[in-house]
Structure 1
């Protein structure tokens, strides 16, 4: 089966898609693809076959990169899926080994279809601590990421060896690294900078998060990014997910769209105010006044000039730090493709 499958919606699906598009549409949808093991038990399958059905659903649904049909017709430009949690390493060795082997098969198939990925403009990103994975799987993932990084029509983020708490902890480590390297100052640390240090820094926050199987918890998935996201919990098992289940979730998003946007606007304004206050406190500190104001009381105009000067310096430091961080992450994938462990 091809990862990228051509095809159109049927007439009823097209009509439904057009009706949905008359309202606000999510641009980024995240999925917790739950229910593969329950699906296997229901069908009296081996667990591994249940996971295979789940991966095949991933290959049949253009909610992700394999078909692109739903994304194209519903204007969903970015999809993030929770493929493998760090907590999943606690499962039996046979099951974990089987899932790793299955992932290798899928990424190998993906690399065989580079022309299709380029044709559809699919950019693949894999988010998580790849060092926890077998080296051969790390290398396959790196090849897929590098082969598609210039594509920009559709984005698929695969969270593999991932939990949100681990991601946030790693972001704090990255900022600490920046301070140790002299790229940023401790006073530069902020909510906005932490967001830029997450694995998902290249993506907007999800508009809609869907969890299948009837579970009503996030299981440590995108906790930072979904504070102002529409959460939809559906009882359908992931291998049985359909276009109509997605339509139902989008309707719930549309019903709650105004309140979600209002909450996001308030958060952005609050974040900007926090940064302004932090800059003012730093610019007006005794040390800064001594360096730039000769230690003398400054009038309002002079203080504003110092504040603007400090903010510009901070922005420049942060820019250089984020460039260095991006280079470090790019080098990780490049080294893997060269057969060198990062």
Structure 2
């Protein structure tokens, strides 16, 4: 099965899509693709077949999203917790991943046609080296595509991601890129695996489970959450439309909450900068209070220097991550030759 299925919507589906698109549409949708194992039990087939059907449904769903004008999709493909499953099932999931990531080069023209950029988010060092290399190949070979983005969370949990972001900031301080006073909620967000993506507008979980299972906990604080009872391999275009309609009904309240959060982030950063400037002036000053204009100038200068440090750090962090993938990809090329 391809990464994206070449299917067109029916007349009724196109009509429904056009009606939905007259309202506010999510730019970024995240899926917890739950129910593959229960689907296998229901159909009396092997669990591996359930997971294979789940990937096929992802390819179909991605095409639906493109038809609806949704240009970014994030999926929970493999949790770090999944390593606790039976060795047979884990090995089967690893083999399925090898097959699907190994197909990327074969399908490069199709992915390029649709402009699909594949990103893989998670701690890839937990995976077998050959799978890491296949993933790196998929990421590097589609990096220049920019029409739509598929983020595959593999060897991922949100708590692991947040802990890693804290480690990245600590690395930035140790390397002298940033100061400890530069650490903030905004900077932590920029150190997450998902830093190159906007937060999801809509998160959908299938199979009837009403929990997030450690998926995008930070990023979905102000997202619409849709819990649907259908098993993932049985997911339909109409299920997706139902979730989008739920998002549209919640749109105003979500926008209001997001705007309040953005204002609060700005306020917290200004207060933190003012505190740092006051401490610096007290340490360097001669005891004479500065007038308001001098204090404002000092604040602006400090903010500019902080922003310069942060951008330098984020550039170094992105380079480190890009190098990780390019080095793995280079190993793959050398092995083939």
Q: Give the TM-score normalised by the residue count of structure 2.
A: 0.96
Q: From 312, 323, 329, give the equivalent of 2:321.
A: 329
Matched residue SS, 2:103:
helix
Q: C-alpha separation between the residues in 2 aligned to 1:144 and 1:162?
A: 18
> Unaligned 5+ residue runs, structure 2?
333-337
Structure 2 residue aligned with 1:65:
none
Q: C-alpha separation between the residues in 1 aligned to 2:104 and 2:208?
A: 30
State the Cα deviation string for residues 154-184 of structure 1 (Å, max 9, x = none): 0000000000000000000000000000100
> Unaligned 5+ residue runs, structure 1?
63-67
Alpha-carbon spacing, 1:50–1:181, altered in 2? closer, same or farther (3 Å): same
Structure 1 residue aligned with 2:181:
187
Equivalenced residues, count: 332
Q: Give the TM-score normalised by the residue count of structure 1.
A: 0.95
* 1:77-92 equivalence runs, <5 A: 77-92=71-86
Structure 1 segments of 4+ aligned residues over 2 angstroms from their partners: 1-7, 59-62, 287-291, 293-296
Do the aligned partners of 1:213 and 1:237 also contact (CA within 8 Å) in 2? yes
Structure 1 residue aligned with 2:9:
9
Structure 2 residue aligned with 1:309:
301
Q: From 241, 259, 267, give the equivalent of 2:235.
A: 241
State the Cα deviation string for residues 277-321 of structure 1 (Å, max 9, x = none): 000000110x44444x45532111111111001000000000000
Q: From 260, 264, 272, give the equivalent of 1:270.
A: 264
Q: C-alpha separation between the residues in 1 aligned to 2:135 and 2:24?
A: 34
State the Cα deviation string for residues 55-100 of structure 1 (Å, max 9, x = none): 12122332xxxxx3x1232110100000000000000111101100
Do the aligned partners of 1:289 and 1:296 also contact (CA within 8 Å) in 2? no
* 1:1-342 equivalence runs, <5 A: 1-62=1-62, 68=63, 70-285=64-279, 287-291=280-284, 293-294=285-286, 296-339=288-331
Q: C-alpha separation between the residues in 1 aligned to 2:287 and 2:88?
A: 68
Q: C-alpha separation between the residues in 1 aligned to 2:260 and 2:5?
A: 41
State the Cα deviation string for residues 202-230 of structure 1 (Å, max 9, x = none): 00000000000000000000000000000
